[in-house]
Structure 1
Amino acid sequence: MPKLIEVDGIVLVESQYDPDTFEDWRRTLGEDRAALARAVNHFVVWDELEADGERNDHSDDMAAEFIAACWRTRAAADFPGRNIVVEVVDQYGPTVVMYEPNV
């Protein structure tokens, strides 16, 4: 389960967070908090999990869904009542992202 932190009201996966990179993204994205969260809270399966030889799309998809379920569970436990979205998208392979929609 990931450890989640809150920075300036944005829920972030601690292991994905770097203060300097966060500020770089903030300068680029402005006040779009959902986009800022998606930029920080992303896990690209192909970049993080080693594969012996050929990629197995089914296994990569299963890994992404498992990671998303872990993030979703932690977000619901640590930040009840908040509308935190965790989804798997196809961005250079299966990628898990987490954000709160802009209101």
Structure 2
Amino acid sequence: MDDLDIRDLTEFRFWSTTFDPPIDDPTFFLSNHLSITSALLLTDLIFPACVLVRGCVIRKEIYDPENFERWWRETGGATEVIENVLNHLHLWDLLEPNEDAEYRALEILAPRIAQTWKSHVQSQFPDRVICTEVNDDYGPTVTMWTA
């Protein structure tokens, strides 16, 4: 897991030590903690479906016609600005870290999400150039837009 050992995360370490001998298998951890619903929602987050609206590629899950129209009017139809505003994900809004290792884990997770957004959305819109970036706007934040 890049430069983070799964055993650095308190939740995994605590769970692992409830077994004798301790279990270090992340797959077994997932089978005990991840529901089908959560797994499906996670894949929707990592591999987002998108819609094309007035030349803007927008993640389908966050597309709201009224909100889009407001941004369209306020920006004068600046597609890159609209995509940047609407297609961002603050990981802290989704996952609340409780320790240093979890903050590091989010720093690893953010670029992975950015990469999957880029490749997956590029496959949905092969005629467009999909761009992603990770910044520390409010914790690790993933943003996507078209160039």
Q: TM-score range by the shorter chain?
A: 0.7 to 0.9
Native 8 Å contact 1:4 1:74 kept in 2: no
| SS of match in other structure, 1:77 | helix
After TM superposition, the score normalised by the length of structure 1 is 0.85
Native 8 Å contact 2:49 2:121 kept in 1: no
Distance 1:27 1:81 in 2: 26
Distance 2:66 2:74 in 1: 13
Q: Does 1:65 align with 2:111?
A: yes
Q: How does 1:44-83 map to 2 (within 5 A)?
A: 44-51=90-97, 53-54=98-99, 56-83=102-129
**Larger helix percent:** 2
CA offset digits 1:3-26 (Å, max 9, x no partner): 111111211111121111111212
Higher relative contact order (CA closer than 8 Å, sequence separation 6+): 1
Q: Percent identity?
A: 36
Distance 1:26 1:48 in 2: 26
Q: How does 1:1-103 map to 2 (within 5 A)?
A: 1-51=47-97, 53-54=98-99, 56-101=102-147
Q: How many residues align?
A: 100
**Larger strand percent:** 1
The gaps in structure 1 that reach 5 residues or longer are: none
Native 8 Å contact 1:64 1:94 kept in 2: yes
After TM superposition, the score normalised by the length of structure 2 is 0.62
Native 8 Å contact 1:68 1:86 kept in 2: yes
Q: RMSD of the TM alignment (CA)?
A: 1.5
Native 8 Å contact 1:68 1:96 kept in 2: yes
| SS of match in other structure, 2:138 | coil
